[in-house]
């Protein structure tokens, strides 16, 4: 069984105008034309300026959702410069707790307290 879509002539012209405007030209470059490559030393200097000089504690709430349901909780990340991090998370009412520690380039999962 054939189906027909009827449009008024002004509506059809509006749709054709939108399609024509959308199909102009290719988008511009992602990287600006004035961008130049940087040296390894410049990158190291920029990274060094972003390293925190004191310990920090970040607290957060998290939520996981999928087709079967959702689960959320709280967590914290303790950052100790220059190379240590402790990551703790827990579900509702402290259930499903997990911890991880990163020291240098070594990561260790720990048993929750």
| pLDDT given for residue 41 in this prediction | 95
DSSP per-residue string spanning 8-64? -HHHHHHHHHHHHHHTSS----SS-TT-----HHHHHHHHHHHS-SS-EEEEEEEEE
Domain of residue 58: give its range.
53-110
Q: Tell me whether residue 90 is in a domain.
A: yes
Q: Tell me whether residue 46 is in a domain.
A: no
Task: Count structural domains, the chain.
Answer: 1
Q: Tell me whether residue 91 is in a domain.
A: yes
Q: Tell me whether residue 85 is in a domain.
A: yes
pTM, to two decimals: 0.51
Q: How far from chain centre, in Å, is Cα 93?
A: 27
pLDDT in tens, the chain (113 residues): 667 777 677 888 888 888 877 777 777 788 888 889 999 999 999 988 888 889 999 999 999 899 998 888 999 999 988 888 999 988 887 788 888 899 888 888 776 65
Q: Is the peptide bond before 105 cis (omega within 30 degrees of 0)?
A: no
């Amino acid at each position: 069984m054939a189906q027909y879509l009827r449009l008024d002539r002004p509506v059809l012209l509006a749709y054709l105008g939108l399609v024509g405007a959308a199909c102009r030209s290719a988008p511009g470059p992602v990287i600006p034309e004035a961008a130049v490559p940087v040296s390894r030393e410049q990158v190291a200097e920029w990274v060094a300026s972003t390293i925190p000089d004191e310990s920090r504690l970040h607290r957060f709430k998290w939520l996981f959702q999928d087709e079967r349901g959702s689960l959320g909780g709280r967590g914290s990340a303790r950052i100790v410069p220059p190379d240590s991090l402790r990551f703790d998370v827990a579900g509702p009412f402290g259930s499903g707790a997990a911890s991880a520690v990163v020291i240098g380039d070594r990561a260790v999962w720990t048993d929750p307290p």
